A and B are shown apart, each in its own frame.
Chain A
Amino acid sequence: MTMPTHLDPFTHAQWYALGRDEDFPDGRKTQTRLLSQDLTVLRRGRTIEVTLPQGQPRPTQHRYGHVWTTFSDTPRALYDIPEFEEVERRLITAGAVHVRCSGLRAVENFLDMAHFPFVHTGILGVEEHAEVEKYDVSMDVERDEIWATNCMFFQPVAAATAKAGGTTKYKYRLPHPYSVILYKTCPPRPGEWDLIGLFIQPTEEDVCIVHSFVLVFDQDNTDTELLHFQQNIFLQDRIILENQIPRRLPLDMRLEIPTRADASSIAFRRWLKANGVTWSTVRAGDME
C-alpha cells in the first residue's frame, strides 16, 4: 500500500471512526475517504467490511457507537472511554458533518473556551463574561494523552438541561490526534460529568468529516432536542473552521500568537510535533 507523501507514522498508526452502523445501508457498498485514500464500506447485518480499492480488507472494530478502521498493521491501540460502560447514560450521535478544514483545527476549536462569547453568543458565553481563568494542562505519559483540567467558564445556557446561567466546570481529554472529549458539569447530577466528544475522520489534509457524540445522564430532553443543541453549536463553529487561514494547522508558534487561554492548544501542537505529525499541518511555503 502506498502512503500519501505527507503521511507520518503517528497519523498512519491511528484507528479512525468512519460513521455509525446506520450510516452504512445493509448490503450496499459505500465509498468514503480516509487520509487521502479511497475506502469501501460494506455492512451485512452487524458485520462490517472495509476494503481498499484493490479489495484488500482492513481491520474494523465497533466502539463508542461508531465503526473504526486503521491503515496500520501495527496500530496504536484505540483509547478506552470507561464512561461508555455506565448503563444509566444515554448516547446520542449527531451524525457526520463535512468541514473544509484540517481535522486538527476542528480538534483545537473544540478545546477552546475563549470563543464561546463570540461564536456561541447567548448560549455558551456572553461578551460581558469573556475571561478565561487559568486552568491546568497535563500529560498522561503512560497513555500518551493530554488533559486540560479545572477549566471554568460562565455560560448562560450551558447544556440542553440547563435552566439558568452559571459557571460551568470543564475537563478536556485528548487521547488521539483526531479525537477530543469534553467532560462538563451535569446539571441534574452534581458530581457527575456529561461527555461530549468528536471522532474526526480526516479525509484530506484540509477536509474532514466530524462524527460527534453526547453521552449524558439527561432524562428531560428528547434525543431530538439534544441533537438540535449539538448541531446548532457545531454549525456556528463551522463558520469559523472554514474561514481560518491556512486550512492546515500551523505547529510553529510564531505563525499564530497564543495567550494563556490557549494553554491546551499549545500543548496539543507540541504533542503533535513531538509525535512527528506532519499530515494536515503547515509546511514551508504555505504562509506566503
Chain B
Amino acid sequence: MIQNESTMRSVIENNDLALWRGADGVARAWENRCPHRGMRLSYGIVRKNRLTCLYHGWTFNGEGRCDKIPAHPNLDPPTTIGAKVYKCVEVGGLLWVAHTENSSEPPVINGSWIPCRSLHFTKKIALSNLIARMDADPLNAHAQYLNPPDGAKMLLAVQPMGKRGTMLHLTLHAEATREDHLRASRWLIAHRLTTEIIA
C-alpha cells in the first residue's frame, strides 16, 4: 500500500525497486538507485509529483528525468541524467512491474478489486503447489484467479524475491464481504503455516 506522496522499497528477484506515488496518485516503479551515488531512492522524499533523493537532493520528475541538482542551482541538468524507469500499471488492486524491454502486455483485469492480504514466505513458492486442489484460472505467469466453493472470487499474485523468499498478494473482487476477506486471509496464513512450519 503506497499512500500519495510517499515511497516504498520492493524487490523482484534481484532487482531492488523504489515504488512511489505522486500527488497525482500515479504509481511509479524505478530502479532503487540514484544515478549519482547509488543511494536507494526509496529513502527519498516525494513532493507533489517529483521524487528527491535523500543523499544530495537530486530531484526527478514523474518520468524519471533529473531536473534539479541542488549543489549546482544554476545548472540545467543534462537530459540524459535520469533514474531507470520500469513499466508499472495498477490493476486488480495490485501494482504490476516489468522491465521496459519486456514486451509482454500488462494484465487485463475486469472489475474492481480490493487488496486483502500480502504475506511474506521465506521460501520460493510455486503457485501450482499452492492451488493444486482449487478451481483456478491462470491470469499470467505470476497470478491466478481462484474460485473458492464457499466465497468470493480471489486473485493471487506471486512476487519472487530471490534469496529473500516470496511475497504472495491476495485481492478480492469488490463484491466480497467482510467474511470473505477474513476467510481468504486465514486461508493464506494457513498456507504459510503449512509451508513454513509444518513442512
Chain A residues near B (Cβ < 8 Å): 108, 112, 114-115, 117-119, 127, 130-132, 239-240, 243-246, 250, 256-261, 288
A117 near B16: Cβ-Cβ < 8 Å: no
A244–B38 touching, CB < 8 Å: yes
**Do A117 and B72 form a contact, CB below 8 Å, given A245-B16, A246-B38, A257-B36?**
no
**B interface list, Cβ under 8 A from A:** 14, 16, 32-33, 35-40, 43, 53-57, 69-73, 75, 81
B residues less than 8 Å from A261 (CB atoms)? 71-72
Task: Evaluate whether A117 and B70 lie within 8 angstroms (CB atoms) in the complex, with A130-B57, A240-B55, A257-B81 already known.
Answer: yes
- CA–CA, A127 and B70, complex, Å: 8
| A interface, over-half SS | loop
For the complex, would chain B's binding face be called helix, strand, loop or mixed by DSSP majority? Answer: loop
**With a CB–CB cut-off of 8 A, which chain B residues contact A108?**
37
Interfacial chain B residues near A256, Cβ < 8 Å: 35-38
Distance in Å: Cβ of A133 to nearest Cβ of chain B: 10
Are A259 and B57 touching (Cβ within 8 A)? Answer: no
Please report the C-alpha to C-alpha distance between residue A114 and residue B35 in the assembled complex, in whole angstroms: 15
Task: Report which of B32, B56, B57, B70 forms a contact with A245, defined as CB distance below 8 A.
Answer: B32
Picked from B38, B43, B54, B70, the residue with its CB within 8 Å of the CB of A131 is: B70
Q: Which of the residues B35, B39, B56, B73 comes within 8 Å of A243, measured between beta carbons?
A: B39
A127: chain B residues at CB < 8 Å are 57, 70
Q: Which residue of A lies closest to B77 (CB)?
A: A259
Rounded to whole angstroms, the CA-CA distance of A246 and B14 in the bound complex is 12
Tell me the smallest distance from the CB of A235 to a CB of chain B, in Å.
14
Question: Which of B32, B57, B81 meets A117, CB within 8 Å?
Answer: B57
